[in-house]
């Protein structure tokens, strides 16, 4: 049984959103599963000196804002630049982890619903009412989920994942590991596919 | 007659090297020419706060060193990490411009020979003897070329190009403009191709 592809993400990364819409189909074409792993770029950036793409110097920020939208059109993925960007994603990440304990496929439904809400419907995942509504939309109890994200075990799990991502050299999202090989960026999906199809290169 | 594709490069950019090996064929498939335009990332980075990819914090630097080589294998382009990186490329850029005045196709031959010398044969373009040898290899007079790169008009031309690149928002290499649309990175070649094939998207 081949090992799953690890897909590290932050709900505030537009390129992670684009890749999240492709990675499962790509993995399935090569008989692999995807293991989704949340991390927090805000914490990572404190160790790497990274900054959100839209807080870069003006020419870079302008380019990336344009590139998000164009790359989404290229990929055929609905996209609308969120009016607030970036946002704290700690609660959305915890909700994902809490749902994972309950029901893996449900957590993945939440992941896609949350990414789409933020990046195509301008609904900020930093707002509790948005997380609440998402719980209802995917068919889970919002009260239980909002209570779940306060559980110490869930908080600890996210902290451990963030630490793991830093220890393994993750500095941006999406970061994809295939058989231990690290690929950064949605624009490395063709290289991921080559690796899956034909092995190490 | 469709406008040429502008290909902005610095001889010290490994991703510009990879793209330089593909861009003419890509352009020709869609009835376009390529206009190669040198700039100097060292000067650009002083305005953007950018740093060479290998001088980033350790996890990023390690990733990019690995990614250069893997992306080259993916592209089928010979690559060997230069032992000195990055290097000052002002003289190589001036040589290119001087040759362009003499003979456009000769300048393009120099461009490919210089990129390959640096990124597949570990010959530093900062060394006058390497530029000298390249002149001989492409069939031009090395003495004339080395004198040419000292001409004030050539120095001014490069300075004007660097200024133009900054004014137009170039912050890294390769940067490709197609019909005024900016694409950064060798990994945007598929988007460039879509644009050329089917127009704006």
pLDDT in tens, B76-122: 999 999 999 999 999 999 999 999 999 999 999 999 999 999 999 99
Nearest to B140 by CA among B190, B106, B184: B106
Residues of A in contact with B62 (CB under 8 A): 169
pLDDT at residue A53, rounded to an integer: 78
Nearest to B45 by CA among B55, B35, B36: B55
Residues of A in contact with B19 (CB under 8 A): none
Exposure of A197 by Cβ count < 10 A (0-12 exposed, 13-18 middle, 19+ buried)? exposed
Q: Which of A59, A190, A191 sits opposite B48 (nearest CB)?
A: A59
Q: Which of B74, B188, B190 sits opposite A194 (nearest CB)?
A: B74
Peptide bond into B122 cis (omega under 30): no
Query: In A80-176, where does DSSP find H-type helix?
Result: 90-102, 104-121, 128-138, 142-148, 152-167
pLDDT at residue B69, rounded to an integer: 97
pLDDT at residue A190, rounded to an integer: 98
Tokens of B142: 């090395």
CA gap A185, B50 in Å, rounded: 19
Residue B191 in this model has a pLDDT that exceeds 80 = yes
Strand partners, B38: B9
| pLDDT tens, per residue, chain A with 201 residues | 689 999 999 999 999 999 999 999 999 999 999 999 999 999 999 998 888 877 888 889 999 999 999 999 999 999 999 999 999 999 999 999 999 999 999 999 999 999 999 999 999 999 999 999 999 999 999 999 999 999 999 999 999 999 999 999 999 999 999 999 999 999 999 999 999 999 999
User: Mapping DSSP to helix (H, G, I), strand (E, B) and coil, where does residue B176 land?
Assistant: strand
Q: Which of B56, B171, B201 sits opposite A59 (nearest CB)?
A: B171
CA gap A163, A175 in Å, rounded: 15
| pLDDT, average across residues B170-182 | 97
Chain mean pLDDT for chain B? 96
CA gap B35, B185 in Å, rounded: 17
Record: contact A67-B169, CB cut-off 8 A: no
Q: Which residue of A has its CA nearest to B190?
A: A74
Record: contact A59-B73, CB cut-off 8 A: no
Tokens of B188: 């945007």
pLDDT at residue A57, rounded to an integer: 84
Q: Is the dihedral of CA A189, A61, B86, B90 positive or negative?
A: positive
Instruction: ipTM value, please give it.
Output: 0.94
**A201 touches B at CB < 8 Å:** yes
pLDDT at residue A44, rounded to an integer: 95
Q: Which of B48, B70, B185 sits opposite A191 (nearest CB)?
A: B70
Give the start-end residues of each E strand in B48-153. none
Helix axes B58-75, A189-198, angle to 10 degrees: 60
Residue B49 in this model has a pLDDT that exceeds 90 = no
Record: contact B71-A194, CB cut-off 8 A: no
Predicted confidence band of residue B55 (pLDDT cuts 50, 70, 90)? confident
| pLDDT, average across residues B44-57 | 85
Q: How far apart are the first and last CA of chain A?
A: 21
pLDDT at residue B48, rounded to an integer: 87
CA gap A23, A20 in Å, rounded: 6
Tokens of A187: 């624009």
Nearest to B92 by CA among B44, B34, B24, B138: B138
Q: Is the dihedral of CA B41, B64, B119, B189 positive or negative?
A: negative
Tokens of A76: 């055929």
CA gap A188, B10 in Å, rounded: 23
CA distances from A181 to A51, A197, B65, B176, B187 (A): 25, 14, 14, 29, 19
Angle at the Cα of B82 from the Cα atoms of B80 and B86, rounded to 5 degrees:
135
pLDDT at residue B52, rounded to an integer: 82
pLDDT at residue A55, rounded to an integer: 80
Peptide bond into A86 cis (omega under 30): yes
**A24 touches B at CB < 8 Å:** no
pLDDT at residue A141, rounded to an integer: 98
Q: Which of A63, A190, A194 sits opposite B184 (nearest CB)?
A: A63
pLDDT at residue A109, rounded to an integer: 98
CA gap B146, B134 in Å, rounded: 11
Record: contact A170-B59, CB cut-off 8 A: yes
**B41 touches A at CB < 8 Å:** no
Tokens of A161: 């994942």
Record: contact B74-A187, CB cut-off 8 A: no
Which B positions 145-164 lie with beta carbon below 8 A of chain A? none
Q: Which residue of A has its CA nearest to B60?
A: A171
pLDDT at residue A58, rounded to an integer: 86
Are the C-beta atoms of A68 and A81 separated by less than 8 Å?
A: yes
Q: What percent of chain B has pLDDT over 90?
A: 93
Which A positions 88-147 lie with beta carbon below 8 A of chain B? none
Residues of A in contact with B70 (CB under 8 A): 191, 201
Helix axes B90-102, B128-138, angle to 10 degrees: 30
pLDDT at residue B3, rounded to an integer: 93
Which residue is it, tokens 């302008």?
A62
């Amino acid at each position: 049984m081949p090992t799953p592809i690890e897909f590290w993400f932050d709900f505030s990364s537009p390129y992670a959103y684009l890749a999240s819409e492709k990675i499962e189909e790509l993995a399935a074409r090569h008989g692999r599963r995807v293991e989704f792993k949340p991390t927090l770029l805000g914490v990572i950036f404190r160790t790497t000196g990274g900054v959100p793409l839209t807080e870069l110097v003006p020419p870079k920020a302008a380019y990336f804002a344009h590139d998000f939208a164009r790359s989404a059109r290229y990929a055929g993925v609905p996209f609308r630049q969120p009016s607030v960007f970036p946002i704290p994603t700690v609660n959305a990440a915890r909700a994902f982890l809490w749902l994972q304990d309950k029901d893996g496929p449900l957590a993945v439904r939440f992941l896609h619903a949350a990414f789409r809400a933020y990046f195509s419907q301008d609904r900020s995942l930093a707002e509790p009412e948005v997380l609440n509504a998402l719980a209802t939309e995917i068919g889970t109890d919002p009260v239980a989920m909002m209570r779940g994200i306060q559980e110490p075990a869930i908080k600890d799990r996210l902290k451990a994942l963030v630490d793991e991502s830093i220890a393994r050299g993750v500095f941006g999202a999406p970061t994809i590991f295939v058989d231990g090989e690290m690929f950064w960026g949605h624009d490395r999906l063709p290289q991921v596919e080559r690796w899956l199809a034909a092995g190490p290169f």
